[in-house]
Amino acid sequence: MTKTIYITTPIYYVNAEPHLGHAYSTVVADVLTRFYRLLGYETYFVTGTDEHGDKVVQAAKAACETPKEYTDRISSLFQNTWPELDISNDYFIRTTDEKHKNLLQYILQKIYDAGDIYFGEYGGHYCFGCERFYNEKELIDGKCPDHKVAPQFLKEENYFFKMSKYQDWLIEHIQSHPGFIRPERYRNEVLAFLRDPLEDLCISRPKSRLEWGITLPFDNNYVTYVWFDALFNYLTAVGYPDSALYYKFWPSVQHLIAKDILKPHGIYWPTMLKASGIETYQHLNVHGYWNIDESKMSKSLGNIVKPLTLKDKYGVDAFRYFLLREMVFGLDANFSESALINRLNSDLANDLGNLVSRSLTMAIKYFNGVVQKPEEALEIDKKLQEDALKAVQEVTAQMQELAFNKALIAIWGFISSINKYIDETSPWSLSKKEDQRKRLGTVLYNIIEALRIITVLIFPFMPNTAKKIWVALGIKEDLCAQRLKNINEWGSIKEGTMVSKIVPIFPRVKQ
Ligand code: MSP
């Protein structure tokens, strides 16, 4: 049976335009999805926008628009950005979609009927910026840790989800499923949080102070708290409760988020699923934060990095490569344009770009681009084949651990092996000896074979570049149909294949 994987990004708030942080999560999800396709999995990949709540109402007011006009406009900015970054999502979800509203009401009713939602009064410190209540312990010097302002004390009647009931179950689940929340540091963070008694979760807001939300099916005077609404997007997107997509993909769902939203995903979400009688997710994959020139990216600092500006300046693949190569998944990283330029010039223009152009140039110069029949392999040829196999194995292992930088290091290790092979076999010297024609043909065959493997390996990271190289290699089979388990079978390129010239794939950029 074909294996499946369902990958999600957070659904982004529409109170900000797409920036580097959003782009990173979405590119990572895309690379992962494409990689699993290479492994032969059937994949489903979803991203979207989170559109309810007070913040959106405020932002719409500031823009002199209705919430509907405003959310339509910003959501389409996200929808239009992703194709430009070669994001291959299968579905884009909006929490204002009718389908999502219906699902949420269905599920709220289900949890309410089961007795896990109750009505009660609560007094607490409410931060309007975060749109949530804080308890004393969570405040720093009496202020919201995020917005650095003192929250307002609010006493209100609201609906509550019995989250505390599922605390012991959640602790047990995390402990018996080591990769449930990963990397480990975030798993430990959630477990540390669970050492204190879990409070029930306030899941409603009175319409008297917030209208822009999904009405509770059992009380018309209230809308649903944004997080209780947003998290269910992951189910709406696969058509819960009765679609074939849901049955096929839900059991293999993996979420991808940054550390800022660990608590809702690590605590609220699994307990909400448990209360709904739905199997919880397979993995919560948590990455760190991009800082800009060593400081936090923020509107007030005026240092918001726009992904499309970078794409226009350096090309989509250089941008994607940089993001995946520079950040260790799980840790924070620093973004600077000069670091991006360095990577582009050294790894892409120098290592990969030069290898491709020198190899194709030789094939054209010595054999008019026609791939020759290889002779029996010598030791040095066998070593290249072994290096290819090792690279494929290493990339496969690292990708499954989300160690994207290490997977790229393994690919670049193989690029060095090919360069070394070229230097040691010295095709230019062989070309001068008439009796070495066959050997020269064999050497070039091996170089082209190695390039074929490189092309498939970089495909998830840099789909555009891979397609260009694939065309130049003259391979007739579809690049998208390649599978990792057989790409290292040496000898796939057929003799007589015609390779062609390629314009420099990564022109150097001046610092
Ligand atoms: N709407 C909620 C998520 C609901 S999911 C059911 C939300 N939206 S957000 O627009 O604030 O997006 C947060 C996410 O954007 C982070 O978890 C991360 O994926 C991405 N990033 C935002 N800023 C980031 C950085 N500076 N660095 C890396 N990723 C960051 O929270």
Q: Of 147, 313, 382, 485, which residue is the catalytic one?
A: 147
- Per-residue model confidence (pLDDT) at position 362: 98
pLDDT in tens, 29-44: 999 999 999 999 999 9
Mean pLDDT to the nearest integer, 341-352: 98
65, 66, 206 from 71: Cα distances, Å: 9, 8, 22
Q: Of 110, 130, 248, 467, which residue is the catalytic one?
A: 130
Mean pLDDT to the nearest integer, 386-395: 96
- Per-residue model confidence (pLDDT) at position 480: 94
**Ligand 1 atom at minimal distance to the Cα of residue 296:** 26
Is residue 507 assigned to a domain? Answer: no
Is residue 497 assigned to a domain? Answer: no
* DSSP calls for 158-170: EEEE-GGGGHHHH
Does residue 487 carry a pLDDT above 90?
no
127 is catalytic: yes
Banded model confidence at residue 385, pLDDT cuts 50, 70, 90: very high
Mean pLDDT to the nearest integer, 419-427: 98
| Same domain for 251 and 376 | no
Mean pLDDT to the nearest integer, 184-199: 97
480 is catalytic: no
Is residue 308 assigned to a domain? Answer: yes
Mean pLDDT to the nearest integer, 47-62: 94
CA 405 to the chain's CA centroid: 14
Q: Of 19, 52, 100, 101, which residue is the catalytic one?
A: 19
pLDDT in tens, 305-318: 999 999 999 999 99
494 is catalytic: no
Domain harbouring 437, CATH code: 1.10.730.10
| Same domain for 466 and 324 | no
| Same domain for 432 and 303 | no
| Same domain for 99 and 84 | yes
- Per-residue model confidence (pLDDT) at position 418: 98
Pairing of strands 253-258, 290-292: unpaired
| Same domain for 434 and 293 | no
Dihedral through CA 148, CA 150, CA 153, CA 157, nearest 10? -10
The amino acid at residue 13 is Y
248 is catalytic: no
Ligand 1 centre from 12 Cα, in Å?
6
Q: Position of tokens 């934060």?
A: 289
- Per-residue model confidence (pLDDT) at position 190: 98
22 is catalytic: yes
Nearest CA to ligand 1 atom 23: 21
**Ligand 1 atom at minimal distance to the Cα of residue 234:** 6
* Mean pLDDT over each residue of the chain, to the nearest integer: 96
Ligand 1 centre from 312 Cα, in Å?
23
Does residue 293 carry a pLDDT above 90?
no
Q: 462 with 317: CB under 8 angstroms?
A: yes
What counts of helices (H) and strands (E) characterise the chain?
21, 16
Q: 108 with 122: CB under 8 angstroms?
A: no
Does residue 484 carry a pLDDT above 90?
no
Q: Other C-beta atoms within 10 Å of 463: how many? A: 20
- Per-residue model confidence (pLDDT) at position 344: 98
Q: Of 144, 202, 265, 274, which residue is the catalytic one?
A: 144
Banded model confidence at residue 294, pLDDT cuts 50, 70, 90: confident
**Within 6 Å (CB) of ligand 1, which residues are found?**
10-13, 21-22, 24-25, 50, 230-231, 233, 257-258, 260-261, 289-290, 297
Q: Of the residues 276, 299, 333, which one is the last residue of a structural domain?
A: 333
| Same domain for 113 and 21 | yes
| Same domain for 92 and 175 | yes
Which range marks the domain in which residue 214 is found?
4-333
116, 229, 389 from 173: Cα distances, Å: 20, 24, 37
Lowest-pLDDT choice from 105-114, 148-157, 201-210: 148-157
Ligand 1 centre from 293 Cα, in Å?
19
Q: Of the residues 333, 363, 382, which one is the last residue of a structural domain?
A: 333
Nearest CA to ligand 1 atom 16: 258
| Same domain for 359 and 314 | no
Ligand 1 centre from 146 Cα, in Å?
14
- How many domains is the chain partitioned into structurally? 2
147 is catalytic: yes
Is residue 505 assigned to a domain? Answer: no
Distance (Å, rounded) from C-alpha 420 to C-alpha 413?
11
pLDDT in tens, 351-378: 999 999 999 999 999 999 999 999 999 9
Q: Of the residues 308, 333, 358, which one is the last residue of a structural domain?
A: 333
Is residue 53 assigned to a domain? Answer: yes
Domain harbouring 199, CATH code: 3.40.50.620
Does residue 488 carry a pLDDT above 80?
no
373 is catalytic: no
pLDDT in tens, 146-169: 888 899 998 889 999 999 999 999
Percent of the chain topping pLDDT 90: 87
| Same domain for 209 and 61 | yes
| Same domain for 35 and 159 | yes
64 is catalytic: no
pLDDT in tens, 259-290: 999 999 999 999 999 999 999 999 999 999 99
CA 478 to the chain's CA centroid: 24
141, 160, 263 from 137: Cα distances, Å: 10, 20, 15
pLDDT in tens, 212-262: 999 999 999 999 999 999 999 999 999 999 999 999 999 999 999 999 999
Nearest CA to ligand 1 atom 30: 21
Distance (Å, rounded) from C-alpha 397 to C-alpha 411?
12
Q: Of 299, 432, 476, 510, which residue is the catalytic one?
A: 299
Is residue 417 assigned to a domain? Answer: yes
Mean pLDDT to the nearest integer, 507-511: 91
| Same domain for 409 and 298 | no
| Same domain for 192 and 43 | yes
> Which positions ≥6 away from 198 have C-beta within 8 Å?
163, 164, 166, 167, 267
Q: 267 with 198: CB under 8 angstroms?
A: yes
- Per-residue model confidence (pLDDT) at position 438: 97
Is residue 281 assigned to a domain? Answer: yes
Is residue 394 assigned to a domain? Answer: yes
- Nearest residue to 332 via CA among 283, 368, 363, 296: 296
Dihedral through CA 410, CA 414, CA 420, CA 423, nearest 10? -140
- Nearest residue to 267 via CA among 337, 169, 334: 169
